[in-house]
Structure 1
Amino acid sequence: MSIDADQDQGQPLIAHLTELRDRLLRIVLAVLICALALMPFSAEIYTFVSQPLQQYLPPGGGMIATEIASTFLAPFKLVLVAAICLAIPVILHQLWAFISPGMYRHEKRLAVPLLASSVVLFYLGLAFAYVVVFPLVFGFFSSIAPEGVAYTPDISRFLDTALKLFLAFGVAFEIPIATVLLISAGVTSADKLAAKRAYVIVGCFVAGMLLTPPDVISQMLLALPMWLLFEVGIFFGRFTQSRPKADDQQPSL
């Protein structure tokens, strides 16, 4: 094989890698811009996120910092995570722009509403965790504190628990999207997924046990929505599992 032929075959790969690099740089830039914009409000953001816990602290009590740099690192870490969440639309847009040239027309028509709904569902998962799960979980832990024990959580430990819950519910609310994608791609069908409902329910409760604090309330609050969202994915997946027309089977240029 000639050198020119090798170069012709290697060029598309180099072009794809270059485009991937540019997309990743744009994602990093978007996250950095969001982080810089949020940094002056790091203390206020931490206060807002910790509000569901602070309302259950003893009168006159507060959270504690057991490490020297916790008062700086905890809000800084929260700002970075908040910046990533805020930049989710940009992140998904860049990923979509990278993979869309190789998709079929019918796949593109399906992908656009899926991308939009995935952003909405992710934010709904975060809101559900903050509004519903946080008060119940932190209220439960504060109520079972033994008599004579002051309930004053460490700010770093609280943040780790809060971020874990945010991530668990944000990802869990993406289950309908994953279900629809599996069905529309022909990997499985709605009927086959419905037949495995019992295994899915068990898997939801196992995920709730692993991804949430060791209490029944938070485990149930994660497992039950995961199951219901799985059912929602099956319902909408039935509308996408029909085979596309022949003229849609060519990638759009």
Structure 2
Amino acid sequence: MNTPVYLSRPALTSALGSGLQVHADALLTPSENTPLTFSDQWVKGKTHAFGAVKETLMPLPDSIPEAHRSRNNQLILHALSQIDGLIQTAIARYGKERVAVVTGTSTSGADENIPLFQHVVQGGEWTDVPFKQLQHTMASPSEFIAQVYGLDGLRYTVSTACTSGARALISAARLLRAGLCDAVICGGADTLSPLTINGFASLEVLSDGIAKPFSANRNGINIGEAAAFFVMTRDADFDGEMQLLGYGASSDAYHMSSPR
């Protein structure tokens, strides 16, 4: 039998706002207003609805090096501030070398290199503008979190497109059950990016309005940005008793973007 693992209360930031209660109220209270933003800035010649985070994000501390300065990491820090006390408690209880980090993302800080790409497209040289390789890497979010909290434990990032955040929770549970750590800061974050938005647009799966899931009139999805994180442990007394009861993952290898 697998060792039980438990999730703390979540840290959440999205187009709906920040915090669990804000999200619960927004989702459960009928409203004619939409949190989505209609914009033509992302897909040339077309207007779509996007779930953009509207609140002002926390500034990154001055101690954070250039290698970790990206909007994606700023969104992560903004969300993690909601459970900062839990993270500090985990460090005090288990030690900084026994607190791991597993993050899911697909954009990371790739957009920090957009000025370079635009410069080259306009005829400039690659050497004219610095290439921000470390912001661009998928490892950046987990390395960033470890640096913010001074952690010495295992840390890595999962990038499996839309399942990245869920896979991060699976990896966290496996690390705990293997005894490789005692707590894991785990979750996912993605920011609106022209790369992913235009990728979905090229697949013709973006809705021309507000998405209508489960409707006969459904014609696509809305892309958004958000961050959600937990502290996962083997101890039910750490922060509530929300047990992770199961998960599943497979690789069907049928088609790049469509189910069988």
TM-score (norm 1): 0.28
Between Structure 1 and Structure 2, which shows a larger proportion of helix residues? 1
Of structures 1 and 2, the one scoring higher in RCO (CA 8 A, sep 6+) is 2
TM-score (norm 2): 0.28
Between Structure 1 and Structure 2, which shows a larger proportion of strand residues? 2
Point out the structure with max Rg over C-alpha.
Answer: 1
